[in-house]
Amino acid sequence: MEHAEHVDLLRPANLPPGGLWADFGAGSGAFTLALRELIGPAAMIYALDKDLPRLDELEHAWHARFGDVSQLRLLPGDFTRTLALPPLDGVLMANSLHFFKEKHSVLRHVHSCLKPGGALLLVEYNVDTGNTWVPYPFSFQTWQKLAPQAGFGELRLLATRPSGFLRGFYSALAQREEP
């Protein structure tokens, strides 16, 4: 996918400008860059990933596209562990949750990172059967059952895109609810 397609998957969320966001499983930052385009230069984005060279790629891509990298914080490490982050307005998880068979504990952790009413922006393959590279994808129908169990409500399907790999993608938005 091209940058414009990444942006188009996220755009229907109608995110307000600014805020504190994190991209859990940012990789080289395709969706981090799309998020930054939508929430603007006043936002602070924490990009977390285990792969330090991919985070370096993200930093270079950010600089090439936006210039100043002062609103980007690269955090190498595991986003499922305790994080020294302020309460977040939103978390983006683009193609990162499908690596976890047991999603509930990861989602509860994400829930704990968000401010009340904070947003979880999800991009995922729209299938329930994976393969070696995408071991545990989940369809939007499965997401509708899983999200409330982890404390997320106001679920909204944002967009879908076809893919030659595992049929297609969807993007969705959910809000943190109080327990």
What string of pLDDT tens digits covers the 179 residues of the chain?
899 999 999 999 999 999 999 999 999 999 999 999 999 999 999 999 999 999 999 999 999 999 999 999 999 999 998 888 999 999 999 999 998 888 999 999 999 999 999 999 999 999 988 888 989 899 999 999 999 999 999 999 999 998 877 789 999 999 999 76
Q: Please give the single-letter amino acid code of residue 124.
A: E
pTM of the model: 0.95
Write the DSSP symbol of residue 86. P
How large is the C-alpha radius of gyration of the chain? 15
Rounded-to-integer distance, Cα 158 and Cα 26, Å: 20
Fold observed for domain 3-176: Rossmann fold (3.40.50)
Measured between alpha carbons, how far is 15 from 90 in angstroms, rounded to an integer? 10
Question: Rounded distance, CA 104 to CA 146, Å?
Answer: 7
Largest CA distance in the chain: 42
Residue type at 77 in one-letter notation:
G
Question: CA-to-CA distance for 93 and 121, rounded, in angstroms?
Answer: 6
Q: Please, which residues have CB within 8 angstroms of residue 67's CB and are 6 or more apart in sequence?
A: none
E-assigned strand segments in 27-166? 44-49, 72-76, 88-94, 114-125, 152-162
Q: Kindly tell me the burial class for residue 24, based on how many C-beta atoms sit within 10 Å of its own C-beta (0-12, 13-18, 19 or more).
A: buried
User: How many residues does this entry show for the chain?
Assistant: 179
